[in-house]
Chains A and B, each alone.
Chain A
Amino acid sequence: MNILILILISFSFSQSENCVTSDSQPMDSRSIYSIGDTLSLEDQSTIYDVCNGSGDYQTEDPFSFVDLNGAHNGGDYKITLISMNATW
């Protein structure tokens, strides 16, 4: 029983670790975009961690918006919906 609990705790800990990464460089100055603005290539190229894998992304894969920019990924154009889900 104790072993089972230990395994469950370890599993849940490893899952949450996937969602709490800190490898990226801190950024304290960002461009602020309004409707009609195009994200700079630098901002599009910023790499984020994928916490929950789905579709073309696996958990812990890198993600950047330039992945979805057809002019930079071989012509695979996508409209992107970003759902800002987190509560703050």
Chain B
Amino acid sequence: MSDFQEELRSEGYENIVIIAVGQTNISAFNSNFTANSDLPLVMDEYPFLPVRAQFSPNGLHKQVIILDYDGTLLDTYTLNSGLNWSAKNYITDVIAQNYEQSILLGDINDDQLINIQDIILTINLILANEHNESADLNSDGIVNILDIVQLVNIILGNGQ
């Protein structure tokens, strides 16, 4: 999977993070993983296994779970035959369909930065009663003061 992350980045998908999830009760797997991969390995706490419980409650394993920028579950893919060509294509397609909107939310002028210029543009949108998906940060279908507040908080690093 770490090679796949590099492949994705070489294709221009820079804002991709791959996290591997292990279980605290399978130390042999964890040791083997840490010896053979440079992906971050996040521990799912036994016995409740909260990460698995929220995505794979039926116990499917070797799944890849794809989350959008805001934590929306975009898709899952079960690696029945490992990370082969078909799996990579499927996952890359899902990323491609969601990538642009993922990194541009709040970046109204599309300069890859979120700053005061985006606030000014958002105010202009509100005054002109226009809609712009990138400016609709809370995805309520309306660009208004709530989106300005969220934008300011992003710039200040306070989240929402």
What residues make up the interface of A, taking CB atoms closer than 8 Å to B? 12, 15-16, 19-22, 24, 26-28, 30-39, 43-44, 46, 48-55, 57, 63, 65-66, 68-88
Contact across chains for B73 and A51 when beta carbons are under 8 A apart: no
Contact across chains for B65 and A52 when beta carbons are under 8 A apart: no
16 CB-based A-B contacts, threshold 8 Å? A35-B73, A51-B30, A51-B43, A52-B20, A63-B42, A72-B159, A74-B154, A74-B159, A79-B98, A80-B16, A82-B55, A84-B51, A84-B63, A86-B44, A87-B26, A88-B26
Question: In the complex the two chains form, what is the Cα distance from A49 to B159 in whole Å?
Answer: 22
Q: Is B126 close to A, CB under 8 A?
A: no
Partner of A79, one of B33, B44, B95: B95
B69 CB to closest chain A CB (Å) equals 4
Interface size class, chain B: 35 or more
Q: Mark B40-66, 1 if CB is under 8 A from A, else 0.
A: 111111011011111111011111111
